[in-house]
């Protein structure tokens, strides 16, 4: 009977990626749970295979082979004590920095601790036996397949990263369903890692965007380098309020992304260069449709496959990457950033009247923040609302976007305010976020440079938006009970926060309508330091907060003038006149 590759998809992905990365030497030890891998490798003439019954000896043989060739060597065995016998050789490899890839079969993770014969727990190993351990998933769907592809790439790349060293892969077998009828290996996405001292590939893509997640402050040199790169490649820089880049090519795309009538600005990007950490703008992230390839640039060099299209990782400083990409002196046209500016300006001109809501407050306050001030944004609905509006030049923003928890946002603001007592530090938080962390207002180090907005809509309003999953299943009343946690913290009491804040030495302001807001907004945003820190409590209603988001997302659909402008920009005056005559006919 003819045999080919195993039907076990983990095996297929591993074999394909070993070939893609040029790893061909294998030392195999007999066993059942690694049988699918051994047979698949044996079928493929690419691999140079050796047999060794004793796993301890096999690992040491790999040390010798790797030393002489200076190339990775794969060792594979079954589970139980067979895999334990790799430890002496892997310890040697770790201390000598030798690239050994140990692939050990196992029945299934669910059998660990269930008295299943030969099943041992290898999920944790001694620290000086391997650089990294990868536990492959049992593949049940496309997500598992992608996870396996990413993790195997990660394992292979770790073998020769910085200091060489051993890596371990736990590979579930196919539950005894031995099938070797697969004649062709699947397409796999090979991920490459590059270091600062190496040659790096040049960019050949046409439509290019840089996406910046949470980032430290940019200095002048870094900003100029990114601007020069964008100028050379006609690129834009996709940002939110956590990106902290305010150069010429900044594209804050939330207002475009939330439109129900989509534009093509964020679609079909040929190359997305991903820098920074977690991106705080989910709306833009969801609308980056049709990305062909992602390059990750970060000093940590880790595989962050946020968009599922990662092909290259550059373990280097961002300015190093951008400097080396513009060495040929090419110059672009700025057409991409100009397209963005035109579209965003048209939208901003047609923002309709908003109800009194968190979005309305963001639209007003964002325009009048004093130059040089800092604003800390709460997570969830708060940053979602504020990302729709640009901040004045010279105003910096912060957000606990790393984990997006509500538990320390106010404290982070307070801590930041201690660093520069002559700068005004604003904070904007929903009621759940604020009351969760309100005790920090009593800290004895609070200064008069702190100003806090509390949008009190009596619960987690993100769960009460029109069309949210909980609304569909539970309705508003039941959603409020537990999911949105309405009714806590005084149930929108007009006195609770007022007394608390004033007793702690804060100046307290409040507004429940546009009229009341207009009377106090100038006081709250005055550019001079005030005698006391401030708290501004904004009382809004759920229906207005939810409707405001809907209104902002329908500007393209609702504004006939905007549609006319778009047609005019595409067809010109003569084309528009022709279309009018055609429609009349």
With contact defined as beta carbons under 8 Å apart, do 426 and 376 qualify? yes
Q: Residue 325: phi, psi to the nearest 5?
A: -80, -20
Q: Among 409, 173, 383, 410, which Cα is nearest to 283's? A: 383
Q: Could you give the CA distance from residue 197 to residue 33 in angstroms, rounded to a whole number?
A: 41
Which of 70, 4, 62, 68 is closest to 28 using CA atoms? 62
Instruction: Collect all residues with Cβ–Cβ distance below 8 Å to 574 and sequence separation of at least 6.
Output: none
pLDDT in tens for each of the 585 residues of the chain?
688 999 999 999 999 999 999 999 999 999 999 999 999 999 999 999 999 999 999 999 999 999 999 999 999 999 888 899 999 999 999 999 999 999 999 887 777 787 677 777 877 788 899 999 999 999 999 999 999 999 999 999 999 998 899 999 999 987 767 889 999 999 999 999 999 999 999 999 999 999 999 999 999 999 999 999 999 999 999 999 989 999 999 999 999 999 988 778 899 999 999 999 988 888 899 999 999 999 999 999 999 999 999 999 999 999 999 999 987 667 778 999 999 999 999 999 999 999 999 999 999 999 999 999 999 999 888 989 999 999 998 899 988 876 666 778 899 999 999 999 999 999 999 998 999 899 999 999 999 999 999 999 988 777 787 777 787 788 888 777 777 778 888 888 999 999 999 999 999 999 999 999 999 999 999 999 999 999 999 999 999 999 999 999 999 876 554 555 444 544 455 545 544 543 443
The residues, any chain, with a CB within 8 Å of residue 193's CB and separated by 6 or more, are 157, 161, 301, 312, 313, 314, 315
Give the integer Cα–Cα distance in Å for 8 and 65: 29
> Is residue 166 within 8 Å of 94, Cβ to Cβ?
yes
Tell me if 39 sits within 8 A of 6, measured CB to CB.
Answer: yes
Q: What is the pTM of this model?
A: 0.88
Supply 283's token pair.
Answer: 């709306």
The three-state DSSP-derived secondary structure of 75-138 is EEECCCHHHHCCHHHHHHHHHHCCCEEEEEEECCHHHCCCCCCCCCCCCCCCHHHCCEEEECCC
Q: Is 491 helix (H, G, I), strand (E, B) or coil?
A: coil
Q: How far apart are CA 471 and CA 546, in angstroms?
A: 12
Residue 71 Rama label (left phi>0; alpha psi -120 to 50; beta) = beta
508 touches 497 (CB < 8 A): yes
Going by C-alpha positions, the residue among 321, 324, 302, 322 that lies closest to residue 313 is 302
Q: Across the chain, how many H-helices and E-strands are there?
A: 21, 19
């Amino acid at each position: 009977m003819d045999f080919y590759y195993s039907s076990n998809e983990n095996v297929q992905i591993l074999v394909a990626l070993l070939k893609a990365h040029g790893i061909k030497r294998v030392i195999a030890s007999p066993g059942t749970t690694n049988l699918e891998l051994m047979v698949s490798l044996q079928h493929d003439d690419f691999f140079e295979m050796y047999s060794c019954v004793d796993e301890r000896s096999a690992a040491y043989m790999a040390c010798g082979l790797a030393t002489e060739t200076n190339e990775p060597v794969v060792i594979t065995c079954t589970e139980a004590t067979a895999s334990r016998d790799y430890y002496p050789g892997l310890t040697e490899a770790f201390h000598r920095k030798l690239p050994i890839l140990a692939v050990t079969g196992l029945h299934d993770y669910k059998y660990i601790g269930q008295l299943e014969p030969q099943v041992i727990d290898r999920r944790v190993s001694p620290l000086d036996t391997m650089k990294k351990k990868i536990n492959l998933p049992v593949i049940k769907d496309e997500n598992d397949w992608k996870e396996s592809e990413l993790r195997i790439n990660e394992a292979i790349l770790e073998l020769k990263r910085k200091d060489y060293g051993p890596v371990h892969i736990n590979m579930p077998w196919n539950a005894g369903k031995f099938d070797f009828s697969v004649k062709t290996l699947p397409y796999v996405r090979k991920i490459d890692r590059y270091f600062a001292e190496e040659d790096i590939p040049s960019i050949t893509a046409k439509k290019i965007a840089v996406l910046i997640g949470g980032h430290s402050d940019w200095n002048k040199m870094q900003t100029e380098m990114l601007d020069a790169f964008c100028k050379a490649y006609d690129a834009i820089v996709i940002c939110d309020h956590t990106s902290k880049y305010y150069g010429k090519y900044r594209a804050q795309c939330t207002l475009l992304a939330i439109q129900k009538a989509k534009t093509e600005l964020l679609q079909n990007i040929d190359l997305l260069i991903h820098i920074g950490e977690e991106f705080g703008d989910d709306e833009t992230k969801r609308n980056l449709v049709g990305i062909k390839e992602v390059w990750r640039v970060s000093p940590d060099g880790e595989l962050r496959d946020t968009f599922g299209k990662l092909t290259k990782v550059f373990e280097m400083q961002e300015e190093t990457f951008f400097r080396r990409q513009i060495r040929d002196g090419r110059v672009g046209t700025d057409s991409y950033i100009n397209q963005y500016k035109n579209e965003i300006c048209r939208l901003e001109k047609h923002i309709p009247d908003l109800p009194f809501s968190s979005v309305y407050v963001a639209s007003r306050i964002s325009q009048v923040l004093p130059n040089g001030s800092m604003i800390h944004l709460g997570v969830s609905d708060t940053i979602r609302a504020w990302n729709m509006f640009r901040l004045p030049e010279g105003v910096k923003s912060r957000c606990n976007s790393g984990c997006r928890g509500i538990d320390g946002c106010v404290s982070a603001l307070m801590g930041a305010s201690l660093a520069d007592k002559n700068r005004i530090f604003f904070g904007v938080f929903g009621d759940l976020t604020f009351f969760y962390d309100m005790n920090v207002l009593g800290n004895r180090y609070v200064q008069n440079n702190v100003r806090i907005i509390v949008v009190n809509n009596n619960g987690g309003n993100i769960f009460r938006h029109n069309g949210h999953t909980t609304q569909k299943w539970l309705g508003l009343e039941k959603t409020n009970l537990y999911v949105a946690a309405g009714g806590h913290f005084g149930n929108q009491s007009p006195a609770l926060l007022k007394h608390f804040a004033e007793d702690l030495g804060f100046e307290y302001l409040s507004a429940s309508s546009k009229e009341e807001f207009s009377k106090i907004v100038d006081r709250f945003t005055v550019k001079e330091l005030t005698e006391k820190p401030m708290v501004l409590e904004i009382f809004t209603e759920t229906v207005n907060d939810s409707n405001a988001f809907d209104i902002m997302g329908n500007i393209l659909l609702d504004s006939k003038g905007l549609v006319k402008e778009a047609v005019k920009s595409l067809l010109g005056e003569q084309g528009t006149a022709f279309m009018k005559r055609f429609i009349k006919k």
